[in-house]
Structure 1
Amino acid sequence: MTNKTIWIVDDDPIYQIIVSKIINRSAMFSKIIPFKNGKEAIDQLQEVINNNEAVPDIILLDINMPIMDGWEFMEEFNNLKPKYLDKIRIYIVSSSIAVEDKTKSKKFKTILGYISKPVTVNDIVLIASDE
């Protein structure tokens, strides 16, 4: 197991449990932190940055969530201090098969990929190895 941190930003608690088990099976991350929506995640990220703590290596971001969806999260994320933007790799993870969602994800240079649910161990290994 490596010393990497991954955040799961998804409003589905069952999915969070499943993807956490998949991530554990990959043995690629030492820390998995779940968030119910983009607002919780962006608030935590801002706090981590303000306290000079380690930012997550990877964020798995759902698109459709209450309070703050994935796109709103990305807008806020892009307003953070630039030195942090390059350290965090973001992947959209969604059950949406809409072409416009995949196209929109390409507009954000900080989104490195679009993964369709369900995520597999192989997906996790690939993104964790992609440094």
Structure 2
Amino acid sequence: MNQIICLIDDDPIYQTITKKIIHKSETASKILSFPNGAEAIDGLTGLVHLPEEFPDIIMLDIEMPVMDGWNFMEQFHKIKTIFPKEVSIYIVSSSIAHSDKERSKSYNGILGYFTKPVTLQNVLEIAKS
């Protein structure tokens, strides 16, 4: 598959492990990563005129400093019309709270919720949809 996957998570160890899993899955041609929602919004905005570099999939953590996943979603929805293509967003969080899972369903564009640690099977499922 020739997809671009974007990881938004403040945990560098999680990012390293997840990148290895994505590489093993052979589902992505490129992986972007950001440590929080604010840097992700800035980075994605910078790719507006580069559709070939814009992610197809975002794997988003909820709990992060600076800008958490929920605030990222609010900002993302305000500016998503400037983006060159639709993006599939998946929550990948350590939170097992039912309220977080329900809240994720209230956002148009969030297609799924996965609990950390992410597995090879999770990545394959995300990439397929």
If the TM-score is normalised by the length of the shorter chain, which range does it land in? Answer: over 0.9
Alpha-carbon distance, 1:38 to partner: 0.5
Q: What's the counterpart of residue 66 of structure 1?
A: 65
> SS at the partner of 2:51?
coil
Question: SS of the residue aligned with 2:22?
Answer: helix
Q: Which residues in structure 2 correspond to 1:70-89 (within 5 Å)?
A: 70-82=69-81, 84=83, 87-89=86-88
* Pair 1:118-2:117 in alignment: yes
TM-score (norm 2): 0.93
Alpha carbons of structure 1 residues 99 and 21: separation in structure 2 relative to 1, 3 Å:
same
Give the 5 Å matches for 1:3-14. 3-14=2-13
What's the offset of the Cα at 1:102?
A: 0.5
Q: Which amino acid aligns with 1:128?
A: A
Length-normalised TM-score, structure 1: 0.92
Write the letter of the residue equivalent to 1:62: D
Q: Which runs of 5+ in 2 are unaligned?
A: none
- Per the alignment, in what secondary structure is the counterpart of residue 41 of structure 1? helix
- RMSD value, Cα: 1.5
Structure 1: 5+ residue runs without aligned partners? none
How far did residue 30 of structure 1 move? 0.8
| Aligned partner of residue 42 in structure 2, secondary structure | helix
Structure 1 segments, 4+ long, off by >4 Å, are none
